[in-house]
Amino acid sequence: MIDNIQYDLLIGQLDWYGYVDPELRKALRPLLKLVQYQSTQIIKKAGEAEQYIWFILDGYIRFIRPPGGKYPGRTVRFYFPGAITSEGNPFGQYKNRSDIEVLQGSLLAQIEIAALLKLSTRFTELKKIADGIEDNTRTWGLIEYHCAKAKGKKAFYEEYRSDHPDLFKVYPHEQILDYLRIYDNSYL
């Protein structure tokens, strides 16, 4: 069961997207399931509709775009502790374009989207929260892209490494460079 500190962190994240009133807070808790992964694995394949939203308590999740045509597969996003993961609007039931990989030892709080949809008939603010999660996903991708362009790849890499030192301890350097779209790393 999720403890009070972990639950408060999750509610704090949801509050970022839209107000979570006390009744909604109470209704969400029994829907959460703690899941710990003993090995690194794909927990959702590209093309499948999202069934869950995950809140990362410990560990990492990586979104991987599979190869298509002349394009190789590549890392398109890393998620860190404290993040809520979704590729789009959780209520949209979109088919993801990416595989979702969870790193060995990661601890996630998982909630079924079907249960959230059912709950949204009583709590209409869940729609606003879902829209906020989608907007956040898109916005951070754009921010990182434009920061890399504005700062230059070397400065962006150094800042990213400084901001996320633990990521560099658990993922191969090549995957992180690929995500940052740094293909000539001779200056690093």
pLDDT digits (tens, 9 = 90+) for 66-112: 888 888 888 888 888 988 887 666 666 667 788 999 988 899 999 99
87 touches 98 (CB < 8 A): yes
- Mean pLDDT computed over 160-172: 87
Share of the chain above pLDDT 70, in %: 87
pLDDT of residue 122 exceeding 90: yes
Average pLDDT of the chain is: 85
The residues, any chain, with a CB within 8 Å of residue 61's CB and separated by 6 or more, are 54, 78, 79, 83, 85, 100, 101, 102, 103, 106, 108
pLDDT of residue 131 exceeding 90: no
The torsion of the CA quartet 165, 166, 167, 168, rounded to 10 degrees, works out to 60
- pLDDT the model gives residue 134: 76
CA-based R_g, the chain, Å = 17
- pLDDT the model gives residue 32: 94
Q: Which pair of structure tokens corresponds to residue 57?
A: 């308590």
Query: Of the spans 75-79, 118-122, 156-160, 170-174, which averages the highest pLDDT?
Result: 118-122
Rounded distance, CA 134 to CA 73, Å?
23
- pLDDT the model gives residue 119: 93
- pLDDT the model gives residue 80: 87
Among the CATH numbers 3.40.50.1980, 2.60.120.10, 3.40.50.300, 3.30.750.24, which is that of 4-179?
2.60.120.10
Model confidence, pTM: 0.83
- pLDDT the model gives residue 152: 78
* Ranges of each domain in the chain: 4-179
